[in-house]
Structure 1
């Protein structure tokens, strides 16, 4: 029987072989912003006579064939004035086209990627729109902006973790300049580590994934950092309630080399430092200290028109410490627990244009994530001092390389093919301690794993109206002498219909070789990434989706409707009460519940408007996501924790004159599931009853809904510098959204005997005003 991926290769290479050898003229080059020199991703290059066109790739490169030098090309990008190219035969290879921003630059909107060749379930959000959204204490966030699109929801109040089409946050592949970021949360999840000031583009894939992406089941979030202005020096300073920000960018060599550096530091941490005071001679107390920072930097050098080098880094860290102390007559005792976690990533890339039709990229990648749980006890006296500690670290370090070629044999066909190789080094619960009886396993704790993946992606125009996205990814994963081999076919079709309608469909298979263990006990961010083993197989998912789309070019309205069905296998779960921070008697893969299966289905509707003074979007998702494990719920299906039947969101912006912009967001979600006790056993000694649990996720939280409003005022300083003042309200009507449910025992007033179990909702974030100021220079 012929395998489906064999058909993919047959179609792809047959079309390559059918390319004619006519005397068509090939035009290629890059498209940049004239003011900053930034490469523009997704700029359109079209032949107005033949009606064919292409778009620039992730590095601003394009290649297009024209039947005759007499034709002319139009180069355009949203918010920029178009450029027309004539006398094509006299142009030199490769071109460097610069577009100037139009006067309507302030028009910002959420737009779905409507390029005919783009896969179903893909969308982009302009960074300007993200910055305009009201947010928690004024801290705009990339991942939370994605939660206002269909099929994407958040966890608990304030969380930046994304649950996409029935998946969990660890099933999202999040890339920053092509490097995976393992933990994307600051402040325990209230906002992400991605600084919008350092980003150029944000792309989400949740449907038919291109074959160049792999390793996760739910989605791919691809973030690209800015290159830096290669024309003039500038930057901006941001002052807010949560953190302070500074961004600097400018040319190193004008028109050839540039840099950008962007950093944030927590205001909370500075406040803690300023409020520290000397402890009194006697008494007890508590200290809580939380700090975070992140830093992005990128440098690039254009060697010549065909060669360019990039280097980018990210470093961010969170520290949380809770201490209890006691002082008495000069003797002091302190016990403290804490969480420290952070990421470091680095990318070095070399781009080479080999010919009019062949573009190549070579990259070296580094990613390190560490998650540490600390426990310390100190006794200080006048004559002696003793200290005991236990540090448990769970981290992962990646070294890798990527090679990708973009080949453009004809306007009707573009091919991407390449190789990804990664060496993982896992540190599962590495413990170092000077407590008696505890061992130091820092040397034995390293677990290496190797990953090698080949892929080919084809974008084929079968007719002017029908385009095929097809590809295959083949992965090899090796750990502890065990090897896994998995093919991942991908197939998508896009059919352009009359009246600006289009129909899309896609099918994809994804494998995930990593598993995330999250501590159910103490902590903000203590978790551990671990590889598949001979006991825990890789997770696998397949998804089928179909969508219908309509655009109204004159008014700027857009409509999309997608439906999907998804199945997963080899999922894991944890026994109730599992705490992975302790020293485990058994290995983790012997403790977790294995071989679970999952299923999900949903319908996603989005209506958006992106022209005029009023812009906004309406998104609605109707979905269902379930899990099934042997030994749980009598082997029957049960809803996953963050299964939300209804998810509705609204974003709106309105420009008042040239100075003010009003923005609002509203979200409604069905409450997520919880496991509630069905009974309690009374004890004869008067102690608290023991709860009896039966079915997993048998209850639901109250519904979640929230309105945020904000306004942005454009200012000009006395020195003619641009500035912005942002004000607003988070949770404007003070909704008591549930954070968790607390079980209380109701007792009789007469004999104090237990009578019933009460459930109390605990809320966290009330109405919160915010103010922020940004100065650009």
Structure 2
């Protein structure tokens, strides 16, 4: 009997001990890196196999999970394109567990197998978000062989393309100014080279690219339509590595490696990255220009990029990052005989200093100091034979930011992942600054007043798993704007949710309010450097959008496919546009009797956009790519444009299709192709033209001159009639196929790749612009007027040589 009682007592004590152990919750955290380079990996899935419990790594590769203590814990790490790693440990106290992942492809002469990944779009509360692997971007054929992040994003549903070959991004009815483009936390205001034909982002320097079109998390603010977040590589921590390429118009080189190696058992290490790119159009064209001008004229154009980054681990709790981007475009003409020098230049400079600090295993913070500067300049000089300046013109515009950003990630439990942060940006705008000197009229100098404003935001968001079926991301952002004449304080609620119907299938919805306090004035809408950034003022209100979206998400896990179908409706208020006939060459003269300011040249209105998007995507495997389709409608309405009636903006497209395929024929040969189709642009074209007469000279009493004398004092001018409706003409449909083939060869110390590509493979003459022309009808017949279509890019072959070591 006594033994029986002892047995019962022992059993109760054991059960109590086990319950106490299970009720004790401890934390496991760490960093996930790539095995070869020790680069931090963003968005890695960290989970308990066979359960829905898990989390993902943040921008710096950090994760944290708080779980019941146990004698044995199995944790899995999975990421697209990498092999899944499983670790089993004793889990009785707080534990730090770092993991390294290796690319999950097994290459052989006859077979390539894609890595399985447990990442499921159906289990994420976020919708309207697209993550593009940089390795996939490098395989897609583009114009002149220059790999371009923004042009690849144009191939996604919901993203409309600009004109032929342009990098313009128009997301769900929004303009190019409504995209928040950030590189290592720094805002890039003009992301274009070569007047919009290439972007400023060198793919060799990038680690990740992510596009968010709706359902914005609360940590993002300041734009209406999209967030394009790019992160630069940290630099290889293990060994010196380089890659580069030589193409038709530009060459590039990237070097990365350790500054100090992590000694065995130590926790300190440092690495660097330097990446540069430059065109040589000016070098190639210079001999031809000099030959045609007898050596009297020099002209050219070039652009360059420079990315640099350094990082240093101070230990397990502190990490420092310093990164920057510098780029410039320059076009110039020098006429020695005429004494004329003309130049146009524009460029960006950014710098970011970041400090990561781990307070506890549940609390991660990042402090960022950020600098961003965009400038546009026109210079024209004329000198006399004596060397004196007869005429001098300087035109400048730009925007400069200095900002402070602080973010905290808190992981209280597997059900909650909380983010809190704030950011304050000090903007300095130069809408237009003109310096003019003319010796004939003595000297005239005028500089526009610089405008200083403060834009701030504070946010909190929580990714919550209330049950096995629900995934919710909810948050609130409070934005604040202060200019000397006016101030705004506006709340911005955000909500995204997913309901998991069954494994691999979910229904999603989102709602977001966004405010935008900076505006872009554009005559063309294609992102030229003449576009002006201006702030909200007492006369120009902030832009605001509301967007709601619903959709379904499906994972075909055994095939590596994901399918998303979304419908959205978005409204936009206080969007601005130039008035008819207004120009970017503004002169704000405070001494003028009219006191004309840039606000007098713009008009405010509203817009709305709605549609549906379809995306079937495969990121890894021997065959990868996607198929996307967009059905959409966008309209704008301004009181002072089109008689106050709604009209379709230039890049409204009813149908937009993109097909992208990448096929690894063998370890040595990669084939890629894209095909795009889009409804034609909405344009305003002349419907006819006529002759009009105007005075040949300025005469104050012209109306009193006899009628038979007036024709002698008049000149004839041709006037084009544009009708009454704005953008009432539809251009022909746009479609094009691109094709590329890469030949790889691995040698003992390096790898080389020859690439050959064809832009517009079947030589489609897509419309670039339309113009009225006179067409002869033979003798004794008046010419007729016809509308002609002009194209710019026929089939364009390209080749490049790329290398790695």
Q: Quick check: TM above 0.5?
A: yes
In structure 2, the partner of 1:369 is 374
How far off its partner does 1:704 sit?
0.9
Q: CA 1:518–1:692 in 2, change beyond 3 Å: closer, same or farther?
A: closer
User: Of 173, 182, 186, which residue of structure 1 is paired with 2:189?
Assistant: 182
Instruction: Check whether the contact 1:681–1:692 (CA below 8 A) recurs between aligned residues.
Output: no
CA distance in 1, matches of 2:776, 2:736: 35
Instruction: Check whether the contact 2:105–2:114 (CA below 8 A) recurs between aligned residues.
Output: no
Instruction: Check whether the contact 2:428–2:452 (CA below 8 A) recurs between aligned residues.
Output: yes
CA distance in 2, matches of 1:146, 1:658: 27
How far off its partner does 1:728 sit?
1.3
Instruction: Check whether the contact 2:686–2:720 (CA below 8 A) recurs between aligned residues.
Output: no
Of stretches 55-64 and 332-341 in structure 1, the one that deviates more from structure 2 is: 332-341
Structure 2: gaps (5+ residues): 1-20, 263-268, 590-594, 694-714
- With normalisation by structure 2, the TM-score equals 0.88
Of stretches 530-539 and 608-617 in structure 1, the one that deviates more from structure 2 is: 608-617
CA distance in 1, matches of 2:586, 2:207: 42
CA distance in 2, matches of 1:166, 1:518: 16
Q: Over the residues paired in the alignment, what is the CA RMSD in angstroms?
A: 2.6
**Does residue 128 of structure 1 match 2:129?**
no
Matches of residues 361-760 of structure 1 in structure 2 within 5 Å? 361-379=366-384, 381=385, 383-435=386-438, 436=441, 439-442=444-447, 445-519=449-523, 524-583=528-587, 587-610=596-619, 612-683=621-692, 687-717=717-747, 719-746=748-775, 749=778, 755=784, 757-760=785-788
**Does residue 358 of structure 1 match 2:363?**
yes
How far off its partner does 1:499 sit?
4.4
**Does residue 157 of structure 1 match 2:157?**
no
Instruction: Check whether the contact 2:354–2:369 (CA below 8 A) recurs between aligned residues.
Output: yes
In structure 1, the partner of 2:38 is 37
Instruction: Check whether the contact 1:371–1:527 (CA below 8 A) recurs between aligned residues.
Output: no
Instruction: Check whether the contact 1:240–1:773 (CA below 8 A) recurs between aligned residues.
Output: yes
How far off its partner does 1:286 sit?
6.2
In structure 2, the partner of 1:145 is 152
Instruction: Check whether the contact 1:338–1:523 (CA below 8 A) recurs between aligned residues.
Output: no
In structure 2, the partner of 1:774 is 802
Instruction: Check whether the contact 2:22–2:69 (CA below 8 A) recurs between aligned residues.
Output: no
In structure 2, the partner of 1:342 is 347
Of stretches 629-638 and 726-735 in structure 1, the one that deviates more from structure 2 is: 629-638
- 1:21-42 CA distances to partner (integer Å, 9 max, x unpaired)? 9411210111011110100111
In structure 1, the partner of 2:278 is 265
Instruction: Check whether the contact 2:69–2:92 (CA below 8 A) recurs between aligned residues.
Output: no
Q: CA 1:488–1:113 in 2, change beyond 3 Å: closer, same or farther?
A: farther
Q: CA 1:522–1:366 in 2, change beyond 3 Å: closer, same or farther?
A: closer
Q: CA 1:107–1:322 in 2, change beyond 3 Å: closer, same or farther?
A: farther
Instruction: Check whether the contact 2:81–2:620 (CA below 8 A) recurs between aligned residues.
Output: no
In structure 1, the partner of 2:793 is 765
Q: CA 1:71–1:520 in 2, change beyond 3 Å: closer, same or farther?
A: closer
CA distance in 2, matches of 1:378, 1:108: 66
In structure 1, the partner of 2:91 is 89
CA distance in 2, matches of 1:527, 1:102: 45
In structure 1, the partner of 2:24 is 23
CA distance in 2, matches of 1:196, 1:657: 24
In structure 1, the partner of 2:318 is 307
Q: CA 1:267–1:50 in 2, change beyond 3 Å: closer, same or farther?
A: same
Of stretches 98-107 and 32-41 in structure 1, the one that deviates more from structure 2 is: 98-107
How far off its partner does 1:690 sit?
4.1
Instruction: Check whether the contact 1:309–1:350 (CA below 8 A) recurs between aligned residues.
Output: yes
Instruction: Check whether the contact 1:741–1:762 (CA below 8 A) recurs between aligned residues.
Output: yes
- Structure 1 ranges of 4+ moved more than 6 A: 105-109, 278-282
- 1:71-123 CA distances to partner (integer Å, 9 max, x unpaired)? 211122223233322233378743322223333488789x9972733421011
Q: CA 1:131–1:522 in 2, change beyond 3 Å: closer, same or farther?
A: closer
Query: Which secondary structure state, in structure 2, belongs to the residue aligned with residue 688 of structure 1?
Result: strand
Query: Which secondary structure state, in structure 2, belongs to the residue aligned with residue 197 of structure 1?
Result: helix
- 1:592-626 CA distances to partner (integer Å, 9 max, x unpaired)? 34330100001101122345432221100000100
Query: Which secondary structure state, in structure 2, belongs to the residue aligned with residue 333 of structure 1?
Result: coil
CA distance in 2, matches of 1:542, 1:107: 44
- 1:43-93 CA distances to partner (integer Å, 9 max, x unpaired)? 111112654111101111111122232221112222323332223337874
Give the greater-gyration-radius structure (CA). 2
- With normalisation by structure 1, the TM-score equals 0.91
Query: Which secondary structure state, in structure 2, belongs to the residue aligned with residue 301 of structure 1?
Result: strand
User: Of 318, 321, 329, which residue of structure 2 is paired with 1:318?
Assistant: 329
CA distance in 2, matches of 1:302, 1:341: 36
Of stretches 586-595 and 159-168 in structure 1, the one that deviates more from structure 2 is: 586-595
How far off its partner does 1:481 sit?
2.8
